[in-house]
Amino acid sequence: MSNLGDKATHQSLTPKQQLENLVDGLCDEPFELDSEDLSLSEASELQRTLLKFARRGADSASDKFTDFGENDTSDESKKTS
């Protein structure tokens, strides 16, 4: 209780820090906001974008791992990356 009092009267927090505290507090688990603001079509679009993105990422990483397995070029790729 005394700690809470200390925090509540602590005036040195900037609005930015207060906002960060708020976001942290609201994002505590369980975070369950099934916002209707994201429509079904927007949700599908988001998933398509993420899948495309994940596919690209998986492909490029997969190529890297294949190179590693087949040709052992890992040291070279590290040097050039």
Partner 1 sequence: MTEHDEWRSPALTALDKLSGCYKAVAQLSTVQLRTLHSYATFRMIAIRGIVSSTDPADLLQEAITRTLNGSRNWDSQKIDFVTHLKGCMRSIASELAKRARLELEAAKDSASNQQAIEVEYYAPLQILDDLRIELRQDETALRILELLLQGNTRGEIVRALQMRTDVYDAARKRITRALYAVARRRK
Q: Residue 65, interface with partner 1 (CB under 8 A)?
A: yes
Query: Could you tell me the smallest distance in angstroms from the CB atom of residue 54 to partner 1?
Result: 5
Residue 46 contacts by C-beta under 8 Å, 6 or more apart in sequence?
38
Residues 23-62 that bind partner 1 (CB under 8 A): 23-29, 31-35, 37-38, 40, 43-44, 46-47, 49-51, 53-55, 57-58, 61-62
When the beta carbons of 24 and 75 are compared against partner 1, the nearer one is 24
Q: Report CA 37 to chain centroid distance, whole Å.
A: 20
Which residues, including other chains, have CB under 8 Å from residue 77's CB and lie 6 or more apart?
64, 67
